[in-house]
Amino acid sequence: MSSHTFASDVASANHGQSVTALLPACRTARPWPDSLLIGVVTLFMALCFAGCGSSSSPAPALAPPPPAPTLTIAGPSGILATGADRTFTAAVTNSTNQSVTWSVVESGGGSVTSAGVYTAPALPGTFTIKAASVADPAAFTTASVPVVIPVGHITGYDVGVDYHATTSDFVSSAFITQYNVPAVRQTVLTQLQGMVDRGATVFSTRVWFVNEPGEVVGPQDAWRATFPMTDQEQANLRLYAQDVAKLIGSGGNRPRLDICMLWLGAADYTRGDLTSGLGWTPLTPNVFTTRVEQTTDKLLDAVTNVLRPDGVSVVDTIYMEGEVTIGAKANQDWFLTTHYPRFVSRVSAAGFNPAVYFITATFLNDQPLAPGYVDANFPILNGHRTMFWIYRSLNFMVNNGLPIPKRIDFSCYTDPAAGPMPDILTRALDDADATLPSLGAPKSYGAAETYYFLDDGMRKTLGQAFASEAAKNPRMQRVTFWTSPDGGGPGVNAAYPFAIEDFFPPLTP
């Protein structure tokens, strides 16, 4: 058996043949014993395999995969006003393709162009901008944008809600009498936060003092506080004021709180007279006065020293009465002359602004825009019909030595049937400027009540009328819109959290 033949046969064995399969070939070449042949072949194969293993080159290592693209987003940080734009740029590393696709993660979170220009939505929130690599869509990065409703872009102009109930049915959902109920308080807290997030900077809360002491009413009459105020109602009011004091909106706004005492129901001084008694009970004038003083003192004790975290008192103005109309409400002259001086003294000493608010003559039957009005009693009102009740009421206060409020607040329901709402508002303010300073009143006004229209167009028109007035003249300082009942007009109910932004002017780019 030649070495060539033997090596070839071994190679064949190395490709799958057994040692015994080589024996016939070996016997043919040389007549050797099988045992010797097997030993030789086995040794040769072992040496061959060992040699092959030691002399062969290692397989070449695989090259590592290229790194995946990574992205970074650059752009302004911080809050962004609703409806405003912000431009982002994206950089891609580990790729020659720098193209990205832009998107907004949240539905309703605004829009972004292919150039990275993000436009915030009309409502506030925190939204996510996403940039993904075109070369590798699995590679992306994001940026968060806190969107807020801006406030304070007109110095000294506040917008808020006449807030006293959690639904449009204030009869059953007025909350001061039941603020100690956890579910009621939680509802109020949720609504308050929603409204400050929408830009509110003031709340005006009415309390109707109606019940006789010890009178029990069900939840259907939650609006009826007690005359005089009870300890529980006092504790409720303090807790509510403390909750308002803690509020901060998404735009950084902190609200103030106005409180108004309204004397209705059993405490209705317009019912009866000083001889037969006042109100539904009725009460003698002395008893009525004692209860007014007790209620005033308890209310002041409830809200005194309730401060916001910035050290500012949360309560700003306390109204003793709303929609004062001397000559239209029975016994109102007695009510004011008897109680207002003490009220002013006590409220001022506690650090708050004492006030009453009035009412403009701006309904259709008042014909507020009609030229040529002539007043039978006060010639200064000629041509200024909208001030019919305000001038008369302030004139009474001056004649009786009653202090005039630092700001003249009034209900201002600009009736669309009487003419364009912006024209009516401007006429009312111009009429006020032309007549009220003669009585010593300041040219400083606030709308303590106005419509909250559910119709978007009407609401926007009215809201922007107030905003435009505030922007062009500092005389317009505040507006709080009425929400219940019939906050949007007869038979129309409103809903929280309200489009407060409609009463603010648009931002200047």
User: Is 442 a domain residue?
Assistant: yes
Q: What is the DSSP letter of 498?
A: -
Q: Mind listing the pLDDT tens digit of every residue in the chain (509 residues)? A: 444 444 444 444 444 445 445 444 444 444 555 555 455 555 555 545 555 544 556 667 788 888 889 999 999 988 898 889 999 999 999 999 999 999 999 999 999 999 999 999 987 888 999 999 999 999 999 999 988 877 767 889 999 999 999 988 888 999 999 999 999 999 999 999 999 988 899 999 999 999 999 998 888 899 999 999 999 999 999 999 999 999 998 888 899 999 999 987 778 999 999 999 999 999 999 999 999 999 999 999 999 999 999 999 999 999 999 999 999 999 999 999 999 999 999 999 999 999 999 999 999 999 999 989 999 999 999 999 999 999 999 999 999 999 999 999 999 999 999 999 999 999 999 999 999 999 999 999 999 999 999 899 999 999 999 999 999 999 999 999 998 766 666 666 678 889 898 999 876 65
- CB-count burial class (<10 Å; 0-12, 13-18, 19+) for 216: exposed
Q: Considering the entire predicted model, what is its pTM?
A: 0.80
| Neighbouring residues of 376: CB distance < 8 A, sequence distance ≥ 6 | none
Same domain, 100 and 187: no
Cα(191)–Cα(203) distance, integer angstroms: 12
CB atoms within 10 A of CB 137: 11
Q: Quick one: DSSP state of residue 265?
A: G
Position 61 in a domain: no
**Which CATH number do you get for residue 83?**
2.60.40.1080
State how far the alpha carbon of 262 is from the alpha carbons of 259, 322, 332, 369, 397, in Å. Answer: 10, 7, 13, 31, 19
Nearest to 253 by CA among 244, 265, 241: 244
Looking at residue 56, its pLDDT comes to 57
- Do 74 and 49 belong together in one domain? no
- CA dihedral 426→427→432→438, nearest 10 degrees, is 130
pLDDT for res 496:
87
Kindly state whether residues 225 and 337 are assigned to the same domain. yes
Same domain, 78 and 200: no
- Structural domain contains residue 63: no
Look-up: residue for tokens 């219940």?
484
Distances (CA, A) of 223 to 108, 175, 210, 298: 38, 7, 9, 18
> Which structural domain, as residue segments, surrounds residue 451?
161-503
Distance CA 491, CA 243 (A): 32
Residue with tokens 């008192």: 313
Read off the amino acid at residue 471. Answer: A
Q: Are 413 and 450 in contact (CB under 8 A)?
A: yes
Report the sign of the C-alpha dihedral through residues 381, 383, 387, 389, in that order.
Answer: positive
Based on the domain organization, do 495 and 427 belong to the same domain? yes
Query: Residue 350 falls within a domain, yes or no?
Result: yes
Residues 7 and 144 in one domain: no
Q: What is the per-residue burial (b if ≥16 Cβ within 10 Å, else e) of 410-430? A: bbbbbebebbebbebbbbbbe
Per the domain annotation, does 60 fall within a domain? no
Q: What is the pLDDT of residues 222-274, one digit of tens each?
A: 999 999 999 999 999 999 999 999 999 888 889 999 999 998 777 899 999 99
Q: Which two tokens stand for residue 170?
A: 């204030």
When divided into structural domains, the chain yields a total of: 3
- One domain for residues 33 and 86: no
Q: How many CB atoms lie within 10 A of CB 187?
A: 16
Neighbours of 338 (CB within 10 A): 16
d(C-alpha 248, C-alpha 197), whole Å: 8
Q: How many helices (H) and strands (E) does the chain have?
A: 11, 21
User: What pLDDT does residue 152 have?
Assistant: 67
Are residues 375 and 321 part of one domain? yes
278 with 182, same domain? yes
Beta bridge partners of 140: 132
Residues 6+ apart with CB under 8 A from 486: 168, 492, 493
| Residue 171 falls inside a structural domain | yes
Say what the pLDDT of residue 164 is.
95
Judge if 318 and 219 occupy the same domain.
Answer: yes
